[in-house]
Amino acid sequence: MIKLVVFDLDNVIIDGEAIDEIGKLVNVQDKIAQITEKAMNGDLDFETSIKERAELLTGVSVEDIKKLAENIKLMKGTKETIKSLKDEEYLIAIISGSFDLIANPIKEELNIDFLFTNTLIEDDGKLTGEVTGPLVQDSKADVLRKLIEENDILLNECVAIGDGANDISMLEASGLSIAFNAKPSVKEIADVVIEDKDLTEVLEVIRTRKSNNDKQKENIKETLEDESIEYVSVNVSKLSDDDVSVNVSKLSDDDDVSDEKSTGEKLVNENNKDVKSGKKSERKNKQFKRKTRRKKLPETDFIPANDFLEVLKQKNEHECVILEIADVRDEYNKISKGQKSLRDKLNNDLKENIKLAVEFRDKRNKINEEVEKYKHFRNKVNNEIKKLEFSSGKKDMIDLEKEIEKIDKIIETNVLDIKKENQLVKKANDLRKQINEFREDEKIKILADKLRKESEEHHSKVVELSEEAQEFHDKMVEYFKKTNEIRSNADEAHKLFIKSRNDASAKHEDYKMVLSEIHIINSKLNSFRGKRKNMDRESTIKQDREEKEKAETIFERFKKGKKLSTDELLLLQKHNIG
């Protein structure tokens, strides 16, 4: 049964590569396209490719990217396909190495349930050339597994649609994989290949799969109903509170790999009576009957011995082995639980850390808006001061003083004839007379002083707010750095969680194999019991026959007048003779 449909973004939901379109804003689209092509073909690992491409986008305006996102072209049939799938109650996810600036508006427009993308780091409205997010280091399969674990969905209940090499892990993990207008490496591993750039073709594939599943439901139901039901004896003393039967295929983060443990204990404890002597065991452990459906165990080529005592020895050996395996498996489960708990705690810390970093960024940006406002006030006042100085003649006075200074320097540093020197002295004196003629208006002077004071106040505010903004910026950077450290630790904990869980699964497979052999051994022991019962029954019949013949002989002798003993009379009564 399909529950979740997962799409790639670039060249699947949208008609093109988002990063190529962003690259056009700064004319690096050709360089980006070359790196993208290598990554799509599998010639370059995705982490390296995304970092190299993000670096080429350094300095791009975030606002320009947002405007680009508003006009991004969707793939043909996207809206119809998503709406139909939603109407048919499928969950929809986008898992893409692309960026949230492009994907978030699309998520809102199409009403997508889950979105996982990367984030281009920005500072002051410009890209820094750095990239972060769940798909920089993790594969799409890792992200998909986290998603289904949180939503109680199985991998075989997922459909994945992709086109590039970085989609392969997700496609291979899913129950149904669709290569959409894809690279050759993707087509080779996909269950279905769609060549046309029309997303509505995905609908037909999913509906066909659903139809086939519906047809199989009745057969599965009948098969389940035909499975045998048996009562088995279980020794309470060997069962713990943790013994539960679970389906391995439906394991969640919280499930131990302990499928059929209670069934295993039942089989281990079957025939708990003393089969050597045929007598009842002297131990008085409580027994109870449990109704259970026999689970299918793996096939084995194990052949039990033909001698009763050898088979009993095999049983004891297998019981020891299966308990050892169970102990190792349970230890792996314990490690798995611990790493899951640690991972979840770190992920919560990560969310809180990012939240704080974003809060500091928002505070910084808000203060920077105030800085710009006071800069504007200061510059406006400074322009008014310049106008006052120009209208009062102060500017002309400054120019005349510069000219006088120039003349005085020529007189001091050059050897001049008396006529030339007199001319320069006269010119300087004339300029000084002109300066004396300038008189600054008193009202203009007062206004200018007032404006200068106002300008200084605005400037002080700019400095004060800039320092405050810098403090928030430093805190933001600190928390973003801490975020990377926490994410790295969380990723490591998740890897250990997956490893220990896989180790537990492997041990559980060993457990089931030994369990299957114990089942065969118990069947062999039961066959020995059956033979013994037949022999006992045959012996009893023979004894009864011989006693009856003896009783008939005694009765014949009694008819001839022979006296009977008490035992002989009892024998005649037993066989109802006479």
Each residue's pLDDT tens digit, 358-404: 999 999 999 999 999 999 998 998 888 777 766 555 666 777 788 88
Counting DSSP H helices and E strands in the chain, the numbers are: 17, 9
Which phi and psi angles does 562 have, rounded to 5°? -75, 135
466: number of Cβ within 10 Å: 16
Give the CA distances from residue 127 to residues 50, 54, 133, in Å, rounded to whole numbers and listed in that order: 14, 9, 15
153-210 pLDDT tens trace: 988 899 999 998 889 999 998 989 999 999 888 888 888 999 989 999 999 899 888 8
Q: Which residue has the tokens 């279905």?
A: 192
Give the CA distances from residue 34 to residues 20, 23, 31, 139, 426, in Å, rounded to whole numbers and listed in that order: 10, 12, 5, 22, 75
DSSP letter at 345 equals H
CB-facing half-sphere around the CA of 299: CA atoms within 13 A: 1
Three-class DSSP category at 453: helix
Relative orientation angle of helices 442-559 and 566-574, to the nearest 10 degrees? 120
**The pLDDT value given to residue 220:** 41
Three-class DSSP category at 295: coil
Give the CA distances from residue 21 to residues 99, 127, 186, in Å, rounded to whole numbers and listed in that order: 12, 15, 24
Determine what percent of the chain falls in helix, strand and coil, rounding each to the nearest 5: 65, 10, 20
Token pair listed for 245: 């039967």
DSSP letter at 273 equals S
Sign of the C-alpha dihedral, residues 206, 176, 134, 132? negative
The answer to whether 521 and 314 have CB atoms below 8 angstroms apart is yes
**The pLDDT value given to residue 269:** 42
The one-digit pLDDT tens for each residue of the chain (578 residues) are 899 999 999 999 999 988 888 988 889 888 888 888 887 776 777 788 888 889 999 999 999 999 999 889 999 999 999 999 999 999 999 999 899 999 999 999 999 999 999 999 999 999 998 999 888 878 899 999 999 989 989 888 999 999 988 899 999 989 899 999 998 888 888 889 999 899 999 998 998 888 777 765 555 444 434 433 332 333 322 333 333 233 333 334 444 555 444 333 333 344 343 333 333 333 333 333 333 334 467 888 999 998 888 888 898 999 899 999 999 999 999 999 999 999 999 999 999 999 999 999 999 999 999 999 999 998 998 888 777 766 555 666 777 788 888 888 887 788 777 778 778 878 878 887 776 655 555 567 778 788 889 889 989 988 999 999 999 999 999 988 898 899 899 999 999 999 999 999 999 999 989 998 998 988 888 777 655 655 666 667 777 788 888 888 888 888 888 888 888 888 888 878 87
Sign of the C-alpha dihedral, residues 44, 45, 46, 51? negative
Distance CA 179, CA 190 (A): 6
Q: Across the chain, which distance is largest between two alpha carbons, in Å?
A: 194
CB-facing half-sphere around the CA of 214: CA atoms within 13 A: 6
Length in residues, the chain:
578
**The pLDDT value given to residue 260:** 41
CA neighbor of 110 nearest in space, from 7, 208, 3, 2: 7
CA dihedral defined by 119, 125, 130, 132, rounded to 10 degrees?
Answer: -20
Distance CA 270, CA 518 (A): 10
- Pairing relation of β-strands 126-132 and 114-123? antiparallel
Token pair listed for 272: 């708990």
278: number of Cβ within 10 Å: 11
The answer to whether 50 and 21 have CB atoms below 8 angstroms apart is no
Catalytic residues: 8, 10
Distance CA 148, CA 113 (A): 13
**The pLDDT value given to residue 209:** 84
Strand arrangement of the beta sheet that strand 91-99 belongs to: 126-132, 114-123, 91-99, 4-7, 158-162, 176-180, 192-194
Question: DSSP per residue over 403-423, as a string?
Answer: HHHHHHHHHHHS---HHHHHH
The answer to whether 91 and 3 have CB atoms below 8 angstroms apart is yes
Distance CA 18, CA 57 (A): 12
Sign of the C-alpha dihedral, residues 151, 157, 159, 160? positive
- Pairing relation of β-strands 287-293 and 229-235? antiparallel
CA neighbor of 113 nearest in space, from 188, 204, 7: 7
The answer to whether 81 and 200 have CB atoms below 8 angstroms apart is yes
